[in-house]
Structures are given as C-alpha cells and as structure tokens.
A and B are shown apart, each in its own frame.
Chain A
Amino acid sequence: MEQRLTAGIDIGSCTVKVVVLDGQSVVREAVVDATARPAETALRLLTDTPSCPVVATGYGRDLLEVHRNIPTITEIKAHALGARLYCPSCATVIDVGGQDLKVICLDAAGKVARFEMNDRCAAGTGKFLEIMAQRLGYPLAEFGNAALTGADALTISAMCTVFAESEVVGLINRGVDRRDIARALHQSVVKRVSAMFKRTDPLAGQVVVTGGGALNTGLIGLLQRDLGISIHAAPAPQTVGALGCAIHAKQSPRE
C-alpha cells in the first residue's frame, strides 16, 4: 500500500544507501558507490519506488535538503532509530563507517542521550581497514577472517593511518606472518572503538555495531573479546542509517 511506504537515503563519504520501508518491513535496500553525483545516484535508486515520504542523512544530506527539499536528520539520530528497529533493547550503537566512527548511547526510551564521534582522522574507521587490507593483499571481505586466524604476536605502534601503513610495509619486509599483522591492525581499530565506547559511559544493554565495519567478522570478534560483553552486528549494517531515515519519515510526517 503506497501510504505505508517511506524511504531513507544515507549519503556517506564512500557509499550511498537507500532503504524503502513498507510498514515495518524493508522492501528495498541498496548500497552503491558514492560517485561524483551522490544525490542523483541516491534518487535514481528510488525511481521505481512509488512516490512516498523521503528523509535523508549522512555527510551529503544537505545536497538533498537544499536542492530537493528533502528533510534531513543527523546520522546519529538515524543510526539510533535504525538500530532500535533491529534490536529494541539496544542501549549503544557503534557505527564504524567509511570515514568516521561514532558511539551513540541511548536512554531507556531509546532516545539519543549522548554520543562521541571521530570524524577528523582515519584511525578507527573503515578507511583504515581498507588501506591496510590492500597493503597486505587481502580482499576486504576476507580481511576480518585473516585477523581471526592470526596470532597476538605484535602491536602496531603508529596512531596515524599513513604511518601505520609504513609500519606494515616494514613488517612485511621482515617476513612477519600476514595474518598476525592483520590481527594487530584490527586490534588497533578495536583499541580506538573500545576507548570511545568507555568514554561515553554507556548504560547496560545490548551493543549493536552498524556501518560497513560491522561486516568485518574480525572486528566484531576482537571487539567483543576486548569489551568482554556480547555485541551484535546489525544485519545489512551499512543500511542502518538509511533505515533510520525511513523510520523517521514514517514517525514524523512533514508538517
């Protein structure tokens, strides 16, 4: 039924995501590269969806707000809404995105209580893992598993992605096992995420990981070990922000 349809768009720095919601069911979801014209790309993904309320979020949301009069919410609110649909008892959302990292603490009612973001530096983000996977010669999809098979043999000392990459080159040249290096790199990200998580002093409750980083089994496994609590990777984690937008479009129709 067309009245129940809503759509959400998340224009991220690396990818554009679209979700179409029919009531509580996701009827369409897509993740595509951002391209040079992300707003157009996003809207094209909706061309065969019947006209319905749309809300946007992400780094590029202003493009849609200014040029297409589409209402926007921040990624923080969007991820909180999306994560709570998958996990109604979610107390914390950890969004490991392409170029940023967020920890969002929710109150008992599921509303955003506080949050922390790192959006100034690649350390702890998907970009870090992408660069390192390439350097080590792993397809991104296999990088996490490689980390899980490696040994806790070393730590990466560099904080900066660029310097860490140089450090990795040195380790490769010394013949260090690639899997051990992969593990150490994942531990670097875990360290950043864990520190941010603890700083926000979250309430007790489920921890849900969203964003592309949640597809990385190595990251999820090692983070879980480090935090000592169970964490859940959201299904279709890259689309959680867009999902949150579609939910908001339903809950808060434009006046």
Chain B
Amino acid sequence: MPKKYRAMWAELGLNLDNHDKLLKTLGKVYSDIFLSQVNRPKKAEYLDFVVSEVHGLRVQELVEGKKQGRKVVGTYCTFAPEEIVLAANAVMVGLCSGADFATEEVEKLLPKNLCALIKSSFGFKLGGVCPYLEASDLVVGENTCDGKKKAYEVLKGLVRDLYVLDLPHTKNENAKPLLRAEFEKFKAKMETLTGRAITVDALKRATDVVNAKRQAVHRLSALRANRLVPISGLDSLLINQIFFYEDPVRFTGQINALCDELDARVKSGTGVTDARTPRILISGCPMAVPNWKLPAIIETSGAIIVGEESCVGERGTRNLVDNSSTTLDGLMDALVDRYLKIDCAVFSPNTERLDHIREMARHYKADGVILYAIQFCAPYTIEAIGIERQLEKAGIPAIRIETDYSQQDVGQLKTRVQAFIERIKD
C-alpha cells in the first residue's frame, strides 16, 4: 500500500510496525487464496482493488468525511441498523474480527477459551492495527451472545465511545416493543452524536440505499443457483464481507455491474467449474474479514460453495425494509419488523433457521450442507446438532465443522471436508 497512507495511519494512532506486519500477511494470504483461483469474472478486479486498498482509500474517505462532519460508526453485528446511521449523515463500517492478533495481550483481558471472533476484535484493538476502529466516533456492540455481552464490558474501557444495543432473545410479543425502544434510543444517540435530527426524508433515503445494497447481493445469490456457477464461493463471501464497510452506493453499482457480467456468463454457459462439481451450502457463524479458512479448504477440495446461510451472507441480507410509510413511526416500525426476521442462533426458539437452510439447499441445488461454528460458540454448536440430524433425515447430507482461526487444524479439516465431498459424490 502506498506510503501516502502512513501519515494518515500514524495520525489515527495505529501501531505502524504491527500494521505493516498485518498488511504483509494479508497481502500474501489474499494472493494465495483469491488470486490462485481460475476463471474468475473480470469484475473481480473490483474486489482485488478493494482489498488492495482495504486500509487505504476507504479509510481516507472516512477521514475526509470526518473533517466534513460525517461521523463514523463502527459495528460488530448485522443487527446494527445502517439505515439510522445513514439517516444521520454518518457512515457505518463493520469492524473486522476474522484473524488472531495480539493474542497474548488479549488473553490478559479475556479468557483463552472464548470465541475467536470476539478475541480477534480485541486483538485488532490492542494491536493497534485497525484504522476503522481508530477512526470510529462511536463503536456499537450488541447484547447477543454471552461472550459478546461480557466482552463489551471490557471493550468499553478501550474505545472512545461504546454503545451496546440490547437485543431481544426471543421473537415473542415483547420482542418488537423492546427492539423498537432500542432502535429509538439508538436513533437519539445518533442525533446527539451528529447534531442532526433524523427526518422522515432522510430515513427513507437511507433505507433506499441499504435496500439497494441488499438487492444487489440478492441478484448475486440468484446467479449462483445456476447449474454452471458463474462465481466462486470465496469471491461471493468476499462480496458479502465488503458489503459491511464499502461505500454503499459504490458497492451497489459495482456489484450490479458484476452481476451483469455473471448474467452474460450464465447465458454463454461459462462457469468457474463444471456442472459435476459438488455444490455446498455453508451455514452457521459469520465469517469476518479475513477469515477465509474453511471456504478455501472446501473450494480447493473439488467442491463449490453456492450459498452462505450466515449473517455475513443471506441470513443478514435476506430481507428488505418496507419503505412505504410516510411517518417516522411507520418507518421505525418497518425497520424493527425487518431486523427481527434475522434468525441468528442467539434467538430462542429459532426454528425458522432450519426451514431457511432447507429452502436454501433446495434453491441453490446444494449436494450437501456444511454447518460451521467457531469453537466455544454455544448457540451455533447446539443448533448444529439438531439441524444436522434433521437435514440427514430429510436426505440432505450434512456435516458439522467446529474450528477457530488458527492454521493448526487445516490438515484435519481438509480430511473431514474431503471425506464429506467423497460421500456426496459417491
């Protein structure tokens, strides 16, 4: 990355040595995993560009924006309502937590046996390597799982301004009023932070922007249902990851253009692989940048990933917001309705998730489902057992994979994934 960004990183307070190491590793990993793929669409150049500028151009945009009074809101969960952030003329960026970093420092504050995603978010902070974190005027956490809930108590002391969204854990009759109250509180916080009142117009425009972003990835997902899949699972995952921090309007334009190319590929019968390649649906915990470990194993073992039932994926983008109301009350209600449809495992009961997995397996013509959970994640590992059983009963091959971010178990994972692929091929 060009030296022109060094001053910006220094000013943000990054640890430049650590940051250099991170970028070097990231560059190599990206090259090994993404650039080695064959038959990528030409528009994948956009993805390569975004990643090559991951701590450069986008950060610069945010920093320039801050000078113009546009606040930066860093978030960790798909429940953070981007519509409200945009309506306050602020910018929302999903904060990465997809790699181990500064582990020794993290383990002074958090237990060793804890979700790698949570530990990573701390590692990026303690290592001083994330410009998005350092640029955030507000960091939004959320009361989802036990691990996050308690970890945010510790994070509070480490960041400028931490705001924790209290989410309901059921979808019963109290859930909607609770989430509505939380979104109202968050709206008030955004208004205080930015000094702007959120108007009906602003909220409607913001909702249009976020809906458009979601529609672009809907288009992408639909294209992957084709027998000849025009884009790899790895590239699709990356798109779903970039979704969280790229400029929404630019993202929408670029992904729609990519989908135009994929449309043409489908019409001309071009796929990244042939029609006999086993098709896998991944389901479970979200994969944050730069967690590409399992998809890389799957797609270098002779299979192709045709969908992600994940918050970084279809579960997080499935539903649009009904933007028809002309009152703030109606719009806020519509937001709540939309967000409550997310069937993350922190909710109980969560029976719709199995229905969605089955529907996705059918729709994307998956030959098998890989249920992915990060080690120590109680909600997803518990759900996975029942879901695996039900899928097998329904004649859909399924396997549970539980892992962390380390490279230690790559060999073991490869054996399991390859054995699963052998099974579905036989």
Residue numbers of A with Cβ under 8 A of B are 59, 73-77, 111-115, 117, 119-120
Contacts and interface: CB of A to CB of B under 8 A. Distances in A.
B326 interface: no
A202 to B, nearest CB: 14
B419 interface: yes
A74 B412 contact: no
A74 B422 contact: yes
Nearest to B418: A74
Nearest to B389: A201
Contacts of B250: none
Nearest to A112: B423
B411 interface: yes
A115 to B, nearest CB: 6
B398 to A, nearest CB: 9
28 contacts: A59-B411, A73-B422, A74-B415, A74-B418, A74-B419, A74-B422, A75-B415, A76-B415, A76-B419, A76-B422, A77-B422, A77-B423, A111-B423, A111-B426, A112-B419, A112-B423, A112-B426, A113-B423, A114-B392, A114-B399, A115-B419, A117-B412, A117-B415, A117-B416, A119-B412, A119-B415, A120-B409, A120-B412
A120 B410 CA distance: 11
B424 to A, nearest CB: 10
A114 B399 CA distance: 8
Q: Which of B399, B418, B419 has the most CB of A within 10 A?
A: B419
A114 B371 CA distance: 14
A11 to B, nearest CB: 12
Contacts of B419: 74, 76-77, 112, 115
A37 to B, nearest CB: 19
Contacts of A74: 415, 418-419, 422
Contacts of A75: 415
B74 to A, nearest CB: 35
Nearest to A201: B389
Contacts of A119: 412, 415
Interface string B153-196: 00000000000000000000000000000000000000000000
Q: Chain B at the A interface: mostly helix, strand, loop or mixed?
A: helix
Contacts of A113: 423
A16 B416 CA distance: 21
A119 B414 CA distance: 12
A114 B392 CA distance: 10
The 6 closest A-B pairs by CB, nearest first: A76-B419, A74-B419, A74-B418, A77-B422, A119-B412, A112-B423
Contacts of B392: 114
Contacts of B415: 74-76, 117, 119
Contacts of B426: 111-112
Contacts of B399: 114
A118 B193 CA distance: 52
Nearest to B417: A74
Nearest to B398: A114
Contacts of A114: 392, 399
Contacts of B409: 120
Contacts of B418: 74
A105 to B, nearest CB: 11
Interface in B386-426: 392, 399, 409, 411-412, 415-416, 418-419, 422-423, 426
A220 B45 CA distance: 58
Nearest to B423: A112
B230 to A, nearest CB: 24
B54 to A, nearest CB: 31
A74 B415 CA distance: 6
A64 to B, nearest CB: 15
A75 B419 CA distance: 8
B421 to A, nearest CB: 9
Nearest to A119: B412
Nearest to A73: B422
A158 B399 CA distance: 30
A111 B399 CA distance: 16
A190 B229 CA distance: 47
Contacts of A59: 411
Interface in B371-394: 392
A119 B392 CA distance: 24
A117 B409 CA distance: 13
A13 to B, nearest CB: 10
Q: Which of A73, A111, A114, A119 has the most CB of B within 10 A?
A: A114
Contacts of A111: 423, 426
A119 B408 CA distance: 12
Contacts of A120: 409, 412
Interface string B329-370: 000000000000000000000000000000000000000000
Nearest to B408: A120
Contacts of A76: 415, 419, 422
B390 to A, nearest CB: 14
Contacts of B412: 117, 119-120
A98 to B, nearest CB: 15
Nearest to A76: B419
A79 to B, nearest CB: 10
